[in-house]
Amino acid sequence: MAIQVDQLFQDKRKHILPFQFNEEVAHVFDDMLARSVPFYHEIHKIILDLIDRKYTEGELIYDLGCSTGTTIKIIHDHLKKKNILSRYVGIDNSLPMLKKCEEKLSASDITCVKLLHGNLEDMEFTPNKFVIMNYTLQFIDPEERIPLLKKIYDSLRPGGVFILSEKIVSNDQRIDPLLVELYYDFKKRNGYSALEISQKREALENVLRPVTPETQLKWLSQAGFARKEMIFRWYNFACYLGIKE
């Protein structure tokens, strides 16, 4: 499937509406992720390394906020090469994203997947050994995050793994603006103009609400994860690992 180039914010807009995962976003989302999320492919390599060490054949793998299905496809292709059977549940509250996900997985003949539409806060999770949540929690109401994390923890079997990737903010308000500028340098290197960056930032204002690493680790503890750690950080992006004892 050909990847469509993200040009959503290329033209000057008179009014910037709040960012939504609608059909026009779903259409260019793969390109948007590749050019907007630093080390996106490296996060997937980390996930595969953890899959190799912690996944039990035949157990469910949850992808919460599965978007266009890239993560599920990468994991499935990896395990298929090893002749390891796997099962997946992908959940997203965007129907256009789920449509793209279904198209992508169907094109690769991946059938061991159940796709669900709805808000994660309203979902119940079947017992499992692996939950992935890449850049999704940051879009959920902060008051709903600890209950959701607790629900994820409760769904994991002993030894189960939770991988959480998020955008973050710094505790030091003098450093945080510098990290933002460095991130925008990254986006410019990937072909985004200053106008595109500015307009998307305005669209995401009060839609994407990041927290500090300290807050995120505290929330993981409150959810039940006695074993948790930040395992990757690049400026204002981070990946966390939680393991259920």
- Residue 2 pLDDT level (bands cut at 50, 70, 90): low
Question: Could you tell me which residues come within 8 angstroms of residue 172 by beta carbon, excluding any fewer than 6 positions away?
Answer: none
Q: What is the mean pLDDT of residues 59-87?
A: 97
What is the strand order of the sheet 60-64 is part of? Answer: 113-117, 87-92, 60-64, 128-134, 156-167, 237-243, 227-234
**β-strand partners of 229:** 241
Q: In the chain, how many domains are there? A: 1
* SS3 state at 8: coil
- pTM recorded for the entire structure: 0.96
Q: Are strands 87-92 and 227-234 parallel, antiparallel or unpaired?
A: unpaired
Question: Which two structure tokens, joined as six digits, stand for 199?
Answer: 């307009």
Q: Has residue 145 got a pLDDT over 90?
A: yes
**Percent of the chain with pLDDT strictly greater than 70:** 99
13 within a domain of the structure (yes/no): no
Coil/strand/helix, residue 13: coil
Contacts of 240 (CB under 8 A, 6+ apart): 163, 164, 165, 166, 216, 217, 220, 228, 229, 230, 231
List pLDDT tens digits, range 167-186.
999 999 999 999 999 999 99
Residue 1: the pLDDT is 56
In a domain? residue 66: yes
In a domain, 2, yes or no: no
- 4 lies in a domain? no
Mean pLDDT to the nearest integer, 218-222: 98
For residue 120, name the pLDDT band (cuts at 50, 70, 90).
Answer: very high
Q: Which residues, in sequence order, are CB contacts of 25 under 8 Å at separation 6+?
A: 8, 19, 32, 96
At residue 172, φ and ψ (nearest 5 deg) are: -90, 110
Q: What is the CATH number of the domain that holds 110?
A: 3.40.50.150
In a domain, 18, yes or no: no
Q: What DSSP designation does 168 have?
A: B
Band (pLDDT 50/70/90 cuts) for residue 148 is very high
Q: Which tens digit of pLDDT belongs to each residue from 19-70?
A: 999 999 999 999 999 999 999 999 999 999 999 999 999 999 999 999 999 9
Domain extent at residue 99: 23-243
Paired tokens of 68:
């266009």
Any domain includes 53: yes
Whole-number pLDDT of residue 3? 80
